[in-house]
Amino acid sequence: MPDISSVKASSVMGTYNRFPLSIQRGKGTFVWDTEGKKYLDFTSGIAVCNLGHAPQYVQSKISEQLETLWHCSNLYTIPVQEELAAHLTKRSSADKVFFCNSGAEANEAAIKLARKYANDIKGVQNPVIVTFKQSFHGRTLAALSATGQSKIQKGFAPLLTGFRLLPFNDTGALQELNHDGKTCAVLLEMVQGEGGVIPADPLWIQELARSCKEQGILLMVDEVQTGAGRTGSMFAYEHYGISPDVITMAKGLGSGFPIGAMLAKDEAAKAFEAGSHGSTFGGNPLACTAGLATLQYIEENNLLEHAAEMSSYLQQQLQACLSNAGVHAEIRGKGLLLGIVIEEKAAKIAAEALKHEVLLLTAGPDVVRLLPPLNVSREEIDEFILRFKGILDTALYS
């Protein structure tokens, strides 16, 4: 982890182990620190700034909305919220959308919907939601109870009951999916992000989806990190040919403006009626404007195709760079959510990257996580590879 001893005393709670860097400004794939030093940003604010920093198109739409209406509450119809919901349902397997402000809240809404559906519609008491080892679903109590990593849960007992953890990508374990007849839903990531950039196995997903369908279990996908084009399709589940009942998203949806969403098919969505759930800020006009502009920009500029192309190019260049450096490392992930597996060295590489004016992330101790914006250029990838050579040299051999 980066050395934070040099950072002066802060009044912000120490919930993050921060890199020794204060960021002042960002444009496209670059950010500048408070001393004016320029960095190549391959983190996109953890998969949030999918169009790069301060994208002009989104900025101009938000500026227009700032002149028009900031907030009015969900007691009234909000035209841009309707428009964003219609866009999301047209682009997904879902029919209805609930808006909130973050990924954890989107998962919280999904968990509540699954329970309400089980209690009120299916008549299942004490329903169970199955989640998976190494998953990450957020930091609220329900979301962390659903999460399959003990480091996220440590110290927060008592956790919520009603969750059962199964191993990820394990077909045999699907025997346990509903052994007591209480399982109302499964919640999983298509590519486990925080857990180490681990893609779901397509055959396993097919099997899981089939079991869910046969047994009336809601298939809920957490696309908080993978949604909004990150993997080269609007949603990562599209790579798997499945039709989820519930989808959660947040990070990339607003290009940096906070927004979350829980999407559901009518069959599940009907469990929520007036008064079932709510959020003061959820679906706020400014946030929905950011969301709609982001989706429009992705589509009008064919950024999904571009991201898929840049993903192949980046993987190919990385592979060459790693083998030239004599490093045997697996590259995994989908689209522009990529992980380089280098045992025990991830933090060292991310720290070393700063000296080469590159921002990089980790995903656990063994994985360097790359999250360039969807509109990253070939030239920027070339620049990254050039610097990555130097980063590897000093991080691995000094």
Ligand X SMILES: *Cc1c(COP(=O)(O)O)cnc(C)c1O
Residue of 19, 132, 136, 163 marked active site: 136
257 belongs to the catalytic site: no
224 is in an annotated binding site: yes
Give the span between the Cα atoms of 275 and 284, in whole angstroms: 18
| CA–CA dist 44, 41 (Å, integer) | 6
Alpha-carbon dihedral angle through residues 339, 345, 349, 350, given to the nearest 10 degrees: 70
Residue 193 touches ligand X, criterion: CB under 6 A: yes
Whether 180 is a known active-site residue: answer no
Contact region with ligand X (CB under 6 A), list: 97-105, 112-120, 158-166, 375-383? 97-105
Q: Which stretch binds ligand X (CB under 6 A): 49-57, 132-140, 173-181, 285-293?
A: 132-140
384 is catalytic: no
Residue 136 assigned as binding residue = yes
Q: 224 and 247 in contact (C-beta within 8 Å)?
A: no
The yes or no reply on residue 194 touching ligand X (CB under 6 A) is: yes
Is residue 225 at the binding interface for ligand X, with CB under 6 A as the rule?
yes
- Please name the residue ranges forming H helices in the chain: 44-47, 56-66, 79-90, 103-116, 141-146, 150-153, 202-215, 266-269, 285-300, 303-324, 346-355, 378-397
Answer yes or no: are the C-beta atoms of 95 and 265 closer than 8 Å. Answer: yes
Indicate which single residue of 45, 52, 103, 335 sits in contact with ligand X (rule: CB under 6 A): 103
Report which DSSP code applies to 26.
E
**Annotated catalytic residue within 42, 163, 222, 265:** 222
Which is nearest to 186 in space by CA: 265, 261, 235, 246?
246
224 binds ligand X (CB under 6 A): yes
Q: Is 250 in the site for ligand X (CB under 6 A)?
A: yes
Give, as ranges, the residues between 4 and 63 that touch ligand X (CB under 6 A): none
According to CB under 6 A, which one of 43, 102, 233, 362 is a site residue for ligand X? Answer: 102
Residue 222 touching ligand X (CB under 6 A): yes
333 is in an annotated binding site: no
Q: Which of 45, 138, 148, 199 binds ligand X (CB under 6 A)?
A: 138
Cβ closest to ligand X, residue 136 vs residue 297: 136
Q: Which residues of 91-129 are buried (b: 16+ CB within 10 A; e: fewer)?
A: ebbbebbbbbbbbbbbbbbbbbbbbbbbeeeeebeebbb
Task: Please tell me the count of residues contacting ligand X according to CB under 6 A.
Answer: 15
Residues forming contacts to ligand X in the complex (CB under 6 A) are 102-104, 107, 136-138, 189, 193-194, 222, 224-225, 250-251
